[in-house]
Amino acid sequence: MNILQINSSQRRTASQSTKLADRIVRRLRDTNPDAALTVRDLGANPHPVLDEAALTALFTPAAERSPEHAQRVALDDALIAEIQAADVVVLGVPMYNFGVPAQLKNWIDAIARAGVTFRYTANGAEGLLRGKKVYVALTRGGLYRNTPADTQVPYLRTVLAFLGMTDVSFVYAEGLSMGAEAEASALASAHEQIEEAVAA
Ligand SMILES: Cc1cc2nc3c(=O)[nH]c(=O)nc-3n(C[C@H](O)[C@H](O)[C@H](O)COP(=O)(O)O)c2cc1C
């Protein structure tokens, strides 16, 4: 089993979403001790934004790319290779201003490549990253689960399904900025959700 862990908090040691993602990986490895793990920390190693230079590089045929173009495309290629090789993907996702962190969006922009991770057919779009299990550890200061203010879950469900990843379990830790008691109870609940998710 190959596990790919993507951390998107900009905090290193204090990140609750990274701690929850770590816990999911630990629990998966309890039952799969030989599982290989690749960790990509988008806070420590930010991926470049999809700007005009990147788009030009991506849309230039490989044989015609300048060294700078090739270098830029290679950065995305590395992320695509990692997710193609993964059987299980674990995402640590804080809520930043009602959305996913910009770094996670940059990662998604990098792995979504027509003809490689999805393709258009006569029947519509088809995801090519199939057969993967995805766990998402969500952390929020407030409470948004199952409300219209939670743009993260519908967005992640949609884009992951578009790429072929339809087996997704979400673990919520909410109310982390609502006092020590609320935080402790949110984390205890998240730990229970992890046990249920890995046992499923
Ligand atoms: C820049 C920034 C924006 C945030 N925006 C929101 C928000 O819109 N809604 C919310 O509930 N919490 C928000 N929070 C709180 C974080 O979601 C919460 O602290 C979470 O634990 C951060 O994840 P981390 O512990 O993995 O870093 C924000 C925090 C930061 C630093």
H helical segments located in the chain? 16-31, 52-59, 67-85, 102-111, 152-162, 180-199
| pLDDT at residue 77, rounded to an integer | 98
Nearest to 193 by CA among 5, 4, 23, 7: 23
Residue with CA nearest ligand 1 atom 27: 15
| pLDDT at residue 160, rounded to an integer | 98
Reported as a single tens digit per residue, the pLDDT across 57-70 is: 999 999 999 999 99
Mean confidence (pLDDT) of the chain:
97
Reported as a single tens digit per residue, the pLDDT across 30-67 is: 999 999 999 999 999 999 999 999 999 999 999 999 99
94 pocket-lining for ligand 1 (C-beta < 6 Å): yes
| pLDDT at residue 31, rounded to an integer | 95
Residue 1 CA to residue 3 CA, distance in Å, equals 6
| pLDDT at residue 8, rounded to an integer | 98
Which whole number is the average pLDDT over 154-165?
Answer: 98
Residue 30 CA to residue 24 CA, distance in Å, equals 10
**What is the best residue among 96, 145, 177 to mutate for testing ligand 1's pocket, by most ligand atoms within 8 Å of CB?**
96
**What is the best residue among 15, 97, 138, 153 to mutate for testing ligand 1's pocket, by most ligand atoms within 8 Å of CB?**
97
Give the 3-state secondary structure of residue 15. Answer: coil
| pLDDT at residue 38, rounded to an integer | 98
Reported as a single tens digit per residue, the pLDDT across 125-150 is: 999 999 999 999 999 999 999 999 99
| pLDDT at residue 44, rounded to an integer | 96
193 pocket-lining for ligand 1 (C-beta < 6 Å): no
Q: Ligand 1 atom closest to Cα of 10?
A: 27
| pLDDT at residue 135, rounded to an integer | 98
| pLDDT at residue 127, rounded to an integer | 98
Reported as a single tens digit per residue, the pLDDT across 96-116 is: 999 999 999 999 999 999 999
Q: Ligand 1 atom closest to Cα of 16?
A: 25
Query: In which band, very low, low, confident or very high, does the pLDDT at 76 lie, cut at 50, 70 and 90?
Result: very high
145 pocket-lining for ligand 1 (C-beta < 6 Å): no
